[in-house]
Chains A and B, each alone.
Chain A
Amino acid sequence: MATAHPIDPIHQFHVDRIVPLHFLGADVSFTNASVFMLVIVAVATLLMLIGSFNHKMVPGRLQSIAEVTYEFIASTLELSSGREGMRFFPFVFSIFMFVFLANLIGIIPYTFTVTSQLAVTFGLAMIVIGTVVIYGIIKHGSHFFGLFAPSGVSPILLPFMILIEVISFISRPISLSIRLFANMLAGHITLVVMGGFVAGLLAAGSFFTIVAPLPLLMVVIFLAFELLVAFLQAYVFTILTCVYLNDAVHPGH
């Protein structure tokens, strides 16, 4: 390449240790991912605190954001898991805010996208499934395992159905985490590759310089697309969390 900086689309996902720390043999270093997780939590907290600090009858901008987000998540949760599911509202709201802000902040250039790390998304998915399993067993005891035995199946087929349902249940956290991770990873790699085309064409000179704005246009369109994906993936993650929580609240279906 003729460019001074070789463009590496994977570089943006590199986790750097800022403060190396080791605790009981595990690497718990403070990394750039940790920084951005703290930023996300700070932004979410400030947004909700300032939004609800001096509430008026006619809401201002921040208050509107806080209220719309609250009502959106509350209606989503109540629609899929009923009134009993509302006890999980703080949990679901935190998950949505974290994933949505992580996706959104990740779009800003030079930031780190936390949700493009499989470890983070799998951790989130395991928290969701762990909550479902633990709450389901505490609330319903052995009745919770009725989830794996669909009703109206002939006794001969039942063992196979149970096996298939168990595999399907185990696949939930995997599909939940891989979907979010892969969407963010693919989108960000595409953006950098498109940006690389602009730099490469400009450097190539003559005729190529004239067509250089074309990939730039694609970058702009893709950014809008990425904004939609950021919201949509956070929403999908949240709505599936609600659906899975519904299994813990009402296991017999």
Chain B
Amino acid sequence: MQGQDDGHEFGQDADKDEALRARLQSLSHALNAQSTDAESAQTDEKRVEKAQRSMSLAMSLGFRVLTEFVAAVIVGGAIGWQFDKWFGTSPILLIVFLGFGVAAAFWNVYRMASPKGSRDRLL
């Protein structure tokens, strides 16, 4: 049904398309002009606020990297220390697991930075 209608009114549709496109273009022009106006009218206060916002975003991202890193090293060290206590092999396992902890820490940070793990990232 619908396909037939489309076939009949093809010429009319093309006209409509043309008109629509022209209207869309004029609208986007108006929008662009308005947004540039708004940008230039942006007060210092807003700019300061924006800077503060991006600053706090960057700080929280940096803090995330820091905590992910430190937490993995601590966990590795704690596991090694506990195994040493159980098996009486102090300090070999502590050293080995501290190494694994550092590896896990780098792995955590790498996962945050790699594009594949983008869902893990902040914003």
Give me the interface of A with B, judged by CB distance under 8 Å.
Answer: 80, 160, 163-165, 167-168, 170-172, 174-175, 178-179, 182-183, 224-225, 228-229, 232-233, 236, 239, 243, 246
- A239 to B64, alpha carbons, bound, how many Å? 12
Q: Which among A80, A164, A233 is the interface contact of B104 at CB below 8 angstroms?
A: A164
Query: Once the chains bind, are B68 and A175 in contact (CB under 8 Å)?
Result: yes
Chain B interface main SS type: helix
Chain A interface main SS type: helix
A-B contacts besides A182-B63, A239-B122, 11 pairs, CB < 8 Å: A80-B119, A167-B72, A170-B79, A171-B68, A171-B74, A171-B75, A171-B108, A175-B71, A228-B52, A228-B53, A233-B60
Q: Closest 8 interchain pairs by CB?
A: A175-B71, A171-B71, A167-B104, A174-B71, A171-B72, A175-B67, A168-B104, A179-B67
Minimum CB–CB distance from A149 to chain B (whole Å) comes to 14
B63 CB contacts on chain A under 8 angstroms: 179, 182-183
Query: Once the chains bind, are A232 and B57 in contact (CB under 8 Å)?
Result: yes
Interface check B120, CB cutoff 8 A? yes
Minimum CB–CB distance from B81 to chain A (whole Å) comes to 13
Size of B's binding interface in residues, CB under 8 A: 27
B76 CB contacts on chain A under 8 angstroms: 167
Q: Specify the chain A residue showing the minimal Cβ separation from B55.
A: A225
Minimum CB–CB distance from A157 to chain B (whole Å) comes to 11
Give me the interface of B with A, judged by CB distance under 8 Å.
Answer: 52-53, 56-57, 60, 63-64, 67-68, 70-72, 74-76, 79, 97, 100-101, 103-105, 107-108, 119-120, 122
18 contacts between A and B (CB under 8 A): A80-B119, A167-B79, A167-B104, A168-B104, A168-B107, A171-B72, A174-B71, A175-B64, A175-B67, A175-B70, A175-B71, A179-B63, A179-B64, A182-B67, A183-B60, A232-B56, A236-B60, A236-B64
Chain B CB within 10 A, most for which of A80, A167, A224: A167
